[in-house]
Amino acid sequence: MRIVTWNVNSIGARLPRLLPWLEENAPDVVALQETKCADDAFPYADLAALGYEAAHSGDGRWNGVAVLSRVGLSDVSLVLEGHPEPRLASAQCGPLHVTSVYVPNGRALGDPHYDYKLAWFRSLRERLDGFDPASPLAVMGDMNVALHDRDVWDIGAFRDSTHVTSAERDAVRALLDWGLVDVEARPGKGDVPFTYWDYRAGMMHKNLGMRIDYLLATRAVPVRDAWVDREARKGKGASDHAPLVADVDL
DNA sequence: ATGTCATCTTAGAGATGA
């Protein structure tokens, strides 16, 4: 099966790009983030027309996550204990349990949002205790963390900034220690499979990006291939994130 | 790098977040 994670930066604004992309790439399961959409405005019908069931959690202007599946959708959960913002959606999709996450950005060191980010990660880790690391399970989404120095275009530009601190990286590593593997995409242009490029300052054109979107999967998920579709980040009407795609033997 | 984009607000340019 083919699985995808993609921060679409508004599903409403992105629909003219998202729907043709789904038709062309034919993924079985898609984890979406930043739908920026209330549940009653979610484009269920457009997605159903392409064969997808959807579980969405969103309340409007900010955040919002979804799981799309054309291989079954059951055991839906939209809750991360103690955190009311719509940043997590999970479901059983055929043989694979999928969680779509949009981790809080953190904003700045010393900002309360940074502590919120770390607390959110802790809750996500605790939530994993309800699952079996020997079973096929994927946690996918925008982690808002660059795990290694090479995962940003210039680590020197990230002094005293979020996304690269030890605490944030430790929070991701705690997920790995539970039993998840960081499924890195094939190297892209510039040797690092960046998934995000800021809209400003021609960052995409200069390939000044970050690898902050992740597919984390248990060892029970045999990964055949994984890549970033940079084409989806190009041109008019693109999200500032590219989709991370993987083919798995399930 | 701070050159854009998306959304909301008691109508329309500014605030907010990324």
Tens digit of pLDDT per residue, chain A (250 long)?
Answer: 999 999 999 999 999 999 999 999 999 999 999 999 999 999 999 999 999 999 999 999 999 999 999 999 999 999 999 999 999 999 999 999 999 999 999 999 999 999 999 999 999 999 999 999 999 999 999 999 999 999 999 999 999 999 999 999 999 999 999 999 999 999 988 899 999 999 999 999 999 999 999 999 999 999 999 999 999 999 999 999 999 999 999 9
Strands annotated E in chain A: 2-7, 29-33, 53-57, 65-69, 74-77, 88-93, 96-102, 137-142, 180-182, 213-218, 223-228, 244-248
Range of the domain at A180: 2-248
Can you give the distance from the CA of residue A158 to the C1' of nucleotide B16 in angstroms?
Answer: 23
| Positions of A marked catalytic | 102, 142, 241
- Relative to beta strand A65-69, strand A29-33 is antiparallel
Dist. CA A90–CA A209, nearest whole Å: 28
Dist. CA A160–CA A230, nearest whole Å: 29
Strand B–CB A108 distance below 7 A: no
Q: Which residue is associated with the tokens 């990286």?
A: A169
CA distances from A138 to A6, A15, A39, A78 (A): 14, 25, 24, 15
Q: How many CB atoms lie within 10 A of CB A191?
A: 8
Q: At A119, list the tokens.
A: 């607390």
Strand B–CB A43 distance below 7 A: no
Residue pair A85/A63 in contact (Cβ under 8 Å)? The answer is yes
Q: What are phi and psi of A136, to 5 degrees?
A: -70, 115
> Which nucleotide, over all strands, has the C1' atom closest to the CA of A113?
B17
Can you give the distance from the CA of residue A28 to the C1' of nucleotide B7 in angstroms?
Answer: 30
SS3 for A46?
Answer: helix
Domain count, chain A: 1
Strand B–CB A107 distance below 7 A: yes
CATH number of the domain to which A46 belongs: 3.60.10.10
Query: What pTM was computed for the model?
Result: 0.98
Can you give the distance from the CA of residue A200 to the C1' of nucleotide B4 in angstroms?
Answer: 5
